[in-house]
Amino acid sequence: MGILDGKVAIVTGASRGIGAEIARRFGEEGAAVAVVARTTEAGTSPFPGTIAETAGQIRAAGGTATAIRADLARPDDRERLVAEATAALGTPDILVSNAAVTYFTRVDDFTPKRFQLMFDVQVEGPFHLAQLVTPGMRAKGQGWILNISSGAARHPVLPPTSFATRGGTVYGMCKAALERFSTGLAAELYDSNIAVNALSPNQVVPTPGTVFHHLTTEDDPNSEPPAVMAEAALQLCSADPKTLTGRIAYSQDLLAELTLE
């Protein structure tokens, strides 16, 4: 018996990295998981991992999962993925918005198309998905919404570090907006018994994306394993919605806090 038995979870950006780890962890704890991303077949992305592989891993471990392809930049895809997840697994209890498209480019050189795409996927996408799942959660009497953020949401110090000057401003803007959305929505949904939180790693997690952008390496001793984020996500998506909500949480700090309680 897992702590998510009987729950239905949607996890976006779950073909690889943090999203895939969260989806597998939720599956281990009994959730029926809708594994969502764009990559359906190997070789169609420059990065390894597909939603079929993640869903297959959950099923191989004895869990329940369905793979749903969706482009989170498209409103019609967001609506379809929630409808398909509901038809296949039931009304969602949990939404984890992890999908991201990221360009590290200085403001001087940022194109309008890339700017809009980042906000479409990382800000508007989580906003719209929350709107779509909230009525069902409210009808059930509880729910959990988790938005995956980053330390990039914090303001840079001056004089700046080399990382701050390399072109992470738009990424930080997206994550800062996502965190303010999370706390605001938590307040709005408090009386509906729906928890809303944002979660970031304490250190950079080695994923295909972070390694590609030279943020870390696969063997970086100072990096954070994806399993730490998955465990923190599990705690945020299983606790009493009135007790653990409205948090801008950091994975290791959160787990240490809960261990001491």
User: What percentage of residues in the chain have a pLDDT greater than 70?
Assistant: 92
Residue, of 23 and 16, whose pLDDT is higher: 23
> pLDDT category, 214, cuts 50, 70, 90?
low
Q: What confidence tens digit (pLDDT) does each residue in 146-194 have?
A: 999 999 999 999 999 887 888 899 999 999 999 999 999 999 999 999 9
- Alpha-carbon distance of 70 to 198, in angstroms, equals 22
CATH superfamily of 8-260: NAD(P)-binding Rossmann-like Domain (3.40.50.720)
Question: Torsion angle, CA of 21/23/29/32, rounded to 10 degrees?
Answer: -170
Query: Is the pTM above the cut of 0.75?
Result: yes
> pLDDT category, 39, cuts 50, 70, 90?
low
The residues facing 11 across adjacent strands are 35, 96
Q: What confidence tens digit (pLDDT) does each residue in 75-113 have?
A: 999 999 999 999 999 999 999 999 999 999 999 999 999
Report residue 48 as tokens: 């390894």
Q: Can you say how many angstroms the Cα of residue 111 is from the centroid of all Cα atoms in its chain?
A: 25
Active site residues: 171
